[in-house]
């Protein structure tokens, strides 16, 4: 990607290097977490109790990227480009786009959806409308999942931003209501459709990014390789040695590749209706 020298987003909240300030009344869960954290980090649990974030400003304010940190700059530029894309698409539809905040963290952090940890991978929390990202995931994506490259990383960010778009358009809320009434298998199937739509939205962003001359030859392939690498079937084969389709929540490698490709090729939201008919 040609991202150097481009404008970054002001919607980055940098919590890296912060210790977790446990909420008051953390209860049993908080204590268990404390002990786990303590075991993991080799620190005295008492050190962690009530530790406030190092700087209050860091928790409250959002900042642009630090100039001496290329990885943060990259994330910031990609986020800014998603903002530009979605602002344009929303405007065409007579709507205003309110972008998400992207929280950078290390190891673990609090979100309105509960404690987020690096082990969960990047995630979006609809309750606080923030994307949570531990940059170590990009190393994992390259080394463990075999999907290196900056566009692979950008796809991950754009997928989470896709969930934000689903939230501000009301799709996520409607799905949550449907899933609450559904059986486990039906609920998983709805989750797959939601995830595939986020992949398609990531592709729509890629389409606009290409128009702005942000992409280089080979970038699409990097993204598609990443989408294939994190398909449920491939992940389950790797971790369990067998696949259980009813338990899929994100879609197969083939489905994820297909929907990302659709978004990339068409650049159209209408091509991302993963809820009509089959998932291809
Ligand atoms: Zn997702």
- Ligand 1 mean position, distance from CA 55 (Å): 31
Provide the pLDDT for residue 45: 42
Is 36 a residue whose pLDDT tops 90? no
Tens of pLDDT along 41-93?
544 444 333 333 333 334 444 666 666 789 999 999 999 999 999 999 999 99
Instruction: Report CA 101 to chain centroid distance, whole Å.
Output: 11
Provide the pLDDT for residue 277: 76
Provide the pLDDT for residue 57: 39
- Ligand 1 mean position, distance from CA 34 (Å): 28
Q: Taking a C-beta distance cutoff of 8 angstroms, is the pair 143, 54 a contact?
A: no
pTM: 0.84
Mean pLDDT confidence for 146-166: 97
- Ligand 1 mean position, distance from CA 187 (Å): 15
- Ligand 1 mean position, distance from CA 47 (Å): 35
Task: Tell me how far apart the alpha carbons of residues 54 and 19 are, in angstroms, rounded to a whole number.
Answer: 7
Mean pLDDT confidence for 94-117: 96
Is 279 a residue whose pLDDT tops 50? yes
């Amino acid at each position: 990607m040609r991202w150097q020298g481009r404008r970054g987003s002001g919607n980055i909240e940098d919590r890296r290097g912060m210790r977790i300030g446990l909420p008051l009344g953390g209860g049993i869960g908080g204590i268990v977490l404390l002990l786990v954290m303590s075991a993991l980090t080799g620190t005295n649990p008492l050190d962690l109790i009530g530790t406030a974030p190092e700087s209050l400003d860091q928790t409250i304010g959002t900042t642009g990227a630090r100039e001496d940190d290329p990885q943060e700059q990259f994330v910031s530029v990609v986020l800014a480009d998603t903002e530009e894309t979605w602002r344009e698409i929303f405007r065409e539809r007579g709507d205003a786009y309110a972008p998400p905040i992207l929280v950078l963290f290390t190891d673990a952090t609090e979100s309105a959806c509960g404690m987020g940890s690096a082990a969960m991978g990047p995630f979006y929390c609809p309750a606080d409308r923030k994307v949570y990202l531990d940059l170590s995931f990009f190393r994992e994506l390259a080394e463990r999942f075999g999907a290196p490259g900056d566009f692979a990383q950008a796809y991950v960010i754009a997928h989470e931003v896709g969930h934000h778009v689903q939230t501000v358009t009301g799709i996520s809320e409607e799905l949550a209501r449907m899933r609450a009434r559904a059986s486990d298998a039906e609920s998983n199937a709805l989750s797959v459709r939601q995830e595939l739509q986020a992949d398609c939205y990531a592709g729509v962003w890629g389409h606009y990014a290409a128009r702005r001359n942000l992409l280089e030859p080979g970038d699409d392939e990097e993204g598609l390789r990443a989408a294939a690498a994190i398909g449920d079937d491939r992940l389950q084969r790797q971790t369990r040695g067998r696949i259980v389709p009813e338990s899929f929540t994100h879609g197969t490698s083939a489905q994820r590749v297909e929907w990302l490709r659709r978004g990339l090729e068409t650049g159209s939201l209408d091509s991302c209706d993963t809820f009509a008919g089959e998932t291809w």
